[in-house]
Amino acid sequence: MAETTPDPRRWWALGLIALAQFMVIMDTSIIGVALPAMQQDLGFSPGDLSWVFNAYVIALAGLLLLGGRLSDLFGARKMFTAGWVVTLGGSVVAAVAGTAWVELLGRVLQGAGAALIAPSALTLLMMLFGARPRELTKALALYGAAAPAGGTAGVFLGGVITEWLSWPWIFWLYVPISLVAIAATGKLMPSAPARRGSVDLAGAVAATAGLGLTVFGVVRAPEAGWAAAGTWGALAGGIALLGVFVLIQRKREVPLVRLGIFRTPNLGGANLAQFLLGAAWIPMWYFLNLYLQQVLGYGAFASGAALLPMTVLIVVLMVAVAPKLIGRFGPKKMVIGGLWALAAGLVWLSFVSPTGNFLVDVLPASLVAALGQALAFIPSLGTAISSAKPEEGGLASGIVNTSYQIGSALGLAAMTAVGVSFGAGSIGDPVALTGGYSAAFLGAAGIAIAGGFLAMATLRTPKAQPSEVAGGDPAVVR
């Protein structure tokens, strides 16, 4: 139902929502440069050090569905605030940690906070802009652009803070930001009455444990080996728990996830596109950063600077160009074209040379990949959220966030295994490293190509009237 008087604070509220997305993504990249110092101070073994990253991602991915359900039940504003409170607590724990296990506890709490923030942020965005289709597309574009900006800012800030201060300040940075967000939420965000219903605790435990264990198995596989009993045990246990989750959802009167939501036209296809987009994009960003530092010899700050052109292009395309193209060509063509453009950029990157340079080997290919990400992200995200019923907005937001985060984690783990098998673990050998990174880029390109074909098969072309094309919601495939 359209609002007669738009909320005058909605653009300030959007800024806070974009900040939330910025911080959630930055938390996955800001700790990268600090890992050697953390290893020395906290006593991490080389094999366990990666869990400073993985603990956050697994907690985030595993709890997103529960976060979306809680947002629907108790109100998005309350859960948005609660997420910042948990993030604040986790950041303090991570900053003061004196041992490895305390550090990992802090990272789990940060991931849990992000799992409350992310779906409620998207629900709040839909509450503010859902009744104004043209503004909705712009709002989604700004929200989407915050993700790559956060990833690049994390590389910058992590390098600067680690070099000039110390690694705990990476986590102290979140304290004032969280306090400002908590204070601003009550003044800027719309409220919604709590709904009747119960929290499906059994389903929440099964979903969280199943997703977490599955991601754990895949993330650990490159280190432990894909044939290892621990790897197969984790994967089998995760899949079994997800099967239990589905059985619970079918039997419960008020489930955590209403399985019928996946019969909503285009919701499943849009989530699949988000899953594969994350599975292709995150490995590209990760291995490109490694190529710049370990082959071309860039420092952390210089590597972040080298990623700036790609980030700026994504922001400009998402905010200024993608909404117009969606209105003209429709979301389905944008998603397909974007995934295939991303694949083209990845194939181009696979030709990197051990003696290459940024202007020839990196810049043009990364810009093509960035073009693909910018074109595909907004229409697939908008379709995934807008296809659901308004009262299931939090659930839809949780599902699409889960799809992208799980895709990112699984894609990175799988491409790490591919890269290592072709030499990406040969530190100090530029030729072997480049061969491994090239293989990872090609593997990610295959994911993006498959994503384009699957989007072609699963997304429906809208049967829009001329008036709908002119004035309807350009972010939704109907």
Q: Do residue 398 and residue 453 come from a single domain? A: yes
Both 383 and 470 in one domain: the answer is yes
Spell out the residues 6+ positions from residue 210 whose beta carbon is closer than 8 angstroms to its own: 238, 239, 240, 241, 242, 244, 245
CB 28, CB 56: distance < 8 Å: yes
Confidence (pLDDT) at 47: 55
Residues 216 and 122 in one domain: no
Q: Report which of residues 259 and 383 the model is more confident about.
A: 383
pTM attached to this predicted model: 0.78
Q: Are residues 44 and 177 in the same domain?
A: yes
Q: Are residues 275 and 239 part of one domain?
A: no
| Cα four-point dihedral sign 301, 302, 307, 313 | positive
Residues 118 and 54 in one domain: yes
> Which residue, 463, 390, 373, is CA-closest to 144?
373
| Residue where one domain finishes, among candidates 161, 184, 199 | 199
DSSP annotation of 392 reads G
pLDDT at 63 over 60: yes
Residues 214 and 190 in one domain: no
Same-domain status, 188 and 310: no
Burial class (CB in 10 A: 0-12, 13-18, 19+), 260: exposed
Q: Which amino acid is present at 363?
A: L
Q: How far is residue 205's CA from residue 188's CA, in Å, rounded to a whole number?
A: 33
Tell me: do 104 and 50 sit in the same domain.
yes
pLDDT in tens, 22-42: 888 888 778 766 776 787 788
- Residue 399 and residue 404: Cα distance in Å, rounded? 9
Together in a domain, 26 and 163: yes
The residue count of the chain comes to 478
Which residue reads 């693909």 in tokens? 372
The mean pLDDT value for 75-101 works out to: 92
Selected residue with higher pLDDT from 319 and 283: 283
- Say if residue 319 is in the same domain as residue 354: yes
pLDDT digits (tens, 9 = 90+) for 307-364: 888 888 888 888 788 778 887 888 899 999 999 999 999 999 999 999 888 898 899 9
CATH value at residue 59: 1.20.1250.20
DSSP classification of residue 263: G
Q: How many domains does the chain have?
A: 3
- Residue ranges making up the domain that contains 248: 200-255
* Shared domain check, 204 and 194: no
The residue type at 402: T
Give per-residue pLDDT as tens, 165-217: 888 999 999 999 999 999 999 888 888 766 666 677 788 888 888 877 887 78
pLDDT band at 300 (very low <50, low <70, confident <90, very high): low
